[in-house]
Amino acid sequence: MQSHVAAHGMAVAPHHLASQSALAVLREGGSAIEAMVAAAATIAVVYPHMNGLGGDGFWLIVPPEGDPIAIDASGAAGSLATPQAYAGLAQIPHRGPQAALTVAGTVSGWDEALKVSRELTGAALPLTRLLEDAIGYAANGIPVTASQASASADKFSELRDQPGFAETFLVDGQPPKAGSRFLQPALSNTLRRLTEEGLDSFYRGPLAEQLARGMEKYGLPVTLSDLQQHRARRPQPLRLAHRHGELWNLAPPTQGLVSLAILGITDRLAMADADDAMTVHRIVEATKLAFGLRDAHITDPRHLDVDIQSLLTPAALQPLADNIDDQRAAPWGAGKGPGDTVWMGVIDKSGLAVSFIQSLYHEFGSGVVLPESGIVWQNRGASFSLDPSHLLALAPGKQPFHTLNPAAAKLNDGRVMVYGSMGGDGQPQTQAAIFTRYVMQNAPLQESITRPRWLLGRTWGQTSDSLKLEGRFSAESVDRLRQLGHEVEVLADFSEAMGHAGAIVRHPNGLFEGASDPRSNGSAAGY
* Gyration radius (Cα) of the chain, Å: 21
By the 10 Å C-beta count (0-12 exposed, 13-18 middle, 19+ buried), 391 is classed as middle
- State the Cα–Cα distance between residues 9 and 22, nearest whole angstrom: 10
467-469: strand order across its sheet:
454-456, 467-469, 488-490
Output the CA–CA distances (angstroms, integers) from residue 507 to 8, 9, 10, 240, 417, in the order listed: 12, 11, 12, 21, 9
Q: What is the DSSP letter of 302?
A: G
Containing 239, the helix (H) or strand (E) segment is strand 238-242
Containing 417, the helix (H) or strand (E) segment is strand 416-421
Q: 70: which strand partners? A: 60
3-class secondary-structure state, position 28: coil
By the 10 Å C-beta count (0-12 exposed, 13-18 middle, 19+ buried), 65 is classed as exposed
Q: 505: which strand partners? A: 417, 513
Within a 13 Å sphere around the CA of 220, how many CA atoms are in the beta-carbon half? 37
Q: How many CB atoms lie within 10 A of CB 197?
A: 14
Output the CA–CA distances (angstroms, integers) from residue 426 to 100, 170, 420, 453, in the order listed: 24, 29, 10, 10
Active site includes 341? yes
DSSP assignment of 256-291: HHHHHHHHHHHTTS--TT--HHHHHHHHHHHHHHHH
Residues whose CB is less than 8 angstroms from the CB of residue 322 and which lie 6 or more positions away in sequence, other chains included: none
* Degrees to nearest 5, angle at CA 303 with 301 and 306: 80
Containing 158, the helix (H) or strand (E) segment is helix 156-159
- State the Cα–Cα distance between residues 88 and 404, nearest whole angstrom: 30
- State the Cα–Cα distance between residues 105 and 361, nearest whole angstrom: 13
- State the Cα–Cα distance between residues 380 and 78, nearest whole angstrom: 12
Q: For 259, phi and psi rounded to 5 degrees?
A: -60, -45
Q: How many CB atoms lie within 10 A of CB 306?
A: 11
341, 436, 450, 459: the catalytic one is 341
Q: 494: which strand partners? A: none
What's the gap between Cα 120 and its chain centre? 25
- State the Cα–Cα distance between residues 357 and 171, nearest whole angstrom: 29
Helix/strand number for the chain, H first, E second: 18, 18
Catalytically annotated residues: 341
